[in-house]
Amino acid sequence: MIGTVFRSEDVPAADRFDHWRELIGRTRSSDFISSHSADFRGELTLLQLGPATVMQTSFLPTRFLRSSRMVRGGDRELYHLTLMLDAGMVLDHAGRSTVFGPRDLHLADSSRPYDFRPLDDRERRVVRGFGVDIPKDMLPLPPQRVRELLNRPVSGHEGLGALLADFLVGVGRQTENLQPSDAPRVGRVVVDLMAAWICQLLDAEAALSPETRRQALAERIRAFVRQNLHDPALTPAAIAAAQNISVSYLHRIFQQQMPGETVAAWIRGQRLEGARRDLTDPALDSVPIHALAARWNFPRAADFTRTFRAAYGLAPSEFRLRALSEREAARLAQTLPRRTSPAADQHETESTSTHP
């Protein structure tokens, strides 16, 4: 994994808030104020992905305050992007308050003050979200143009906003699988998606570099494929038509972004991964394997078994049985009494021997 992880339960209660605040302070200079600091609960994963810093956070209500004094004291010339997964945060800026809801995106400028606070800081309800910091010079637009987007909620439910939000959530899910060699490539995708999203909102897409446009298009294509994996009519021709590009350009984009892998092979791999997840889902234990395979467009059981074994080293039935055994072992481990330490065992033996 690449990055730093903080979990409040791993730190003494008296140190939790200060530790969490110190980690976030590595990326942005702000005051962090919480009425729950004495009994704080939160998690933070901090990833350095090439030019982008990505944070995945969950925390009890906390206020993030960047004052004019802090701006004057030192500015790292960053844009801060926030993706809220839960409601409950409010931005106070320029004399007005704006409430942020689930899947809202918010862009802030480190050169300007802001006050991002809980709607109700007395409620002990965890708030979840993502933060992204990128240098201002990574965007193809001058700060005075980007200023139009600052400190207002933008929906992450549609268009490039949805693509950006989904990508950040996907990075969060794959955190433990990311390797240092992945960091520059993933960070580049984050920056390109942010740039494409901002330029689209400002009707300034002509400012995007050809590479950024290709990267954004590649992510749109992959998102479209993931949303339509169950459709048997999902072919390169159908994908190209949905994106208003030619089939030859679709193949060229794939070769540029994913060298050595064809469109059809990537679709098959995504479907195979979906079937693998289903085989580990306890809610689907009673569904026959051939039915799960058909759901992912593997109509011939023999073909599915051969392809699955080649990818994962086990037949689907063996894979499902192993997943079931692992779940059962985990369940039993939770029901067994906790073993005490050898010293505690000795103390207990001595106590029982002196008190028959």
Its CATH class, for the domain covering 228-337, is mainly alpha
Asked whether the beta carbons of 263 and 251 are under 8 A apart, the reply is yes
Strands (E), the chain: 4-7, 31-33, 42-49, 52-59, 63-66, 78-84, 89-93, 96-100, 104-109, 114-118, 127-135, 154-155
CA 20 to the chain's CA centroid: 19
| Length, in residues, of the chain | 356
Task: Tell me what the mean pLDDT of segment 237-244 comes to.
Answer: 92
pLDDT of 321 reads 93
Mean pLDDT of the chain: 87
Kindly tell me if the per-residue pLDDT of 347 is higher than 50: no
Give the CA distances from residue 77 to residues 82, 100, 325, in Å, rounded to whole numbers and listed in that order.
16, 24, 52
Alpha helices in 202-243 (DSSP H): 210-227, 236-243
Copy the structure tokens of residue 163: 């693509």
- First-to-last CA distance in the chain? 53
195 torsion bin: left (phi>0), alpha (psi -120 to 50), beta (else): alpha
Reported as a single tens digit per residue, the pLDDT across 87-145 is 889 988 777 888 888 999 999 888 888 899 998 888 888 999 999 999 999 999 998 99
Using pLDDT thresholds of 50, 70 and 90, give the confidence band for residue 301: very high
Which pLDDT value is given to residue 352?
Answer: 41
Q: Are 243 and 204 in contact (CB under 8 A)?
A: no
pLDDT higher than 60, residue 349:
no
Structure tokens at 27: 């990326």
CATH 3.40.50.720 fits 4-227, yes or no: no
Query: Pairing mode, if any, of strands 42-49 and 52-59?
Result: antiparallel
Q: What is the pLDDT of residues 252-297, one digit of tens each?
A: 988 888 888 899 999 999 999 999 999 999 999 999 999 999 999 9
pLDDT in tens, 178-229: 888 889 999 999 999 999 999 999 999 899 999 898 889 988 898 899 989 9
**Helices (DSSP H) in 202-315: which residue ranges?**
210-227, 236-243, 247-257, 263-279, 289-295, 301-312
Checking if the pLDDT of 319 tops 70, the result is yes
**Domain regions of the chain by residue span:** 4-227, 228-337
SS percent in the chain: helix, strand, coil, step 5? 55, 20, 30
CA–CA dist 106, 153 (Å, integer): 5
The residue assigned the tokens 């078994």 is 305
Is the CB of residue 205 less than 8 Å from the CB of residue 199? yes
pLDDT: which is higher, 313 or 71: 313
